[in-house]
Amino acid sequence: MFNRKAFCALVLTIISILYSPAVSATEVHNAFVQKNWPVKSKLPPSLDPGCIFDPRIVENELKITSTKSSSDWYRVPKWLAGVWQAKSAELVSQRNLKTGITEQENYHYSINETAQYGVIVDKLGQIWQPLYSQTWTENEYKEQPYSRRTLYLTNKFLKSDEEKISFETLSLNFNVDKANKKILRRWFAATHRMLVRNSSNTFERRDIALNFEDDNTKYGIESTNAAKLSKIDDFIQSQHISPELKQSFEHFASKRKLQ
């Protein structure tokens, strides 16, 4: 049976090693193998390539009882607050950890992505965003016959300042055929994401990910992707925040003495 809690705990430990400047990707790969990978068997057959993609089946198999949950929040730097859009991205490099060979680099592709940063303002005027986990995203690729569906299993804020902000995430990803909705490929990704301010109206997003399928960590792929996002709207606090989200922030704020 897939032990999601053990899986998440292990990957977050390994990803913290991955981005230590003194540790190489090869050492990270070896750490995965030595750590007695908890996924003892492959994911259920219902999630195999060739099956019809259904997010409800995924959630059931991974024992996810609710989606878009949030128990933690992070402060959004003033420069990041607002609505942003990206139209293109770049696969900077893709390296096979088994062979050490860089398989692809400098590949540009089209995306259509909108991201909003900032939900609630506290009494001090600070802007806050929930750290969503167990939530889905979808990306369409104009040049490809598939779309990508991503389920974020964990989402951890690392640090921020006036020029950058960083996170760690663990996700399960599916490439889904646009025509027949069948799964073409599925894999896990442990990702370090950094948002770096370029100007008042643009920032760069850089993702460094360790991608692997089930327990086959020795065949992992390390990839780096980048995208430039442009601001399309300033931050305005929504007047339609759900009661659950308000309650989540009030609980968080009371612990942090923000209210």
Q: What is the pLDDT of residue 28?
A: 47
Q: What is the pLDDT of residue 108?
A: 93
Q: What's the maximum distance between 2 C-alpha atoms anywhere in the chain?
A: 54
Q: What is the pLDDT of residue 121?
A: 93
Number of domain units in the chain: 1
**Domain span holding position 16:** 4-256
The model carries a pTM of 0.78
Instruction: State percent of the chain over pLDDT 70.
Output: 78
CB–CB of 49/59 below 8 Å? no
What is the mean predicted confidence (pLDDT) over 83-111?
91
Confidence check: pLDDT of 87 > 70? yes
What is the mean predicted confidence (pLDDT) over 136-158?
88
Q: What is the pLDDT confidence band of residue 210, given thresholds at 50, 70 and 90?
A: confident
Q: What is the pLDDT of residue 34?
A: 44
Contacts 24+ apart (CB under 8 A), 174-179: 174/53, 174/58, 174/148, 174/149, 174/150, 175/146, 175/147, 175/148, 176/53, 176/146, 176/147, 176/148, 176/149, 177/145, 177/146, 178/145, 178/146, 178/147, 179/145
Rounded-to-5 percentages of helix, strand, coil across the chain = 20, 45, 35
Q: What is the pLDDT of residue 1?
A: 54
Segment 6-63, tens digit of pLDDT: 555 655 555 555 555 444 544 544 454 444 343 445 688 999 999 999 999 998 888 8
What is the mean predicted confidence (pLDDT) over 148-168?
90
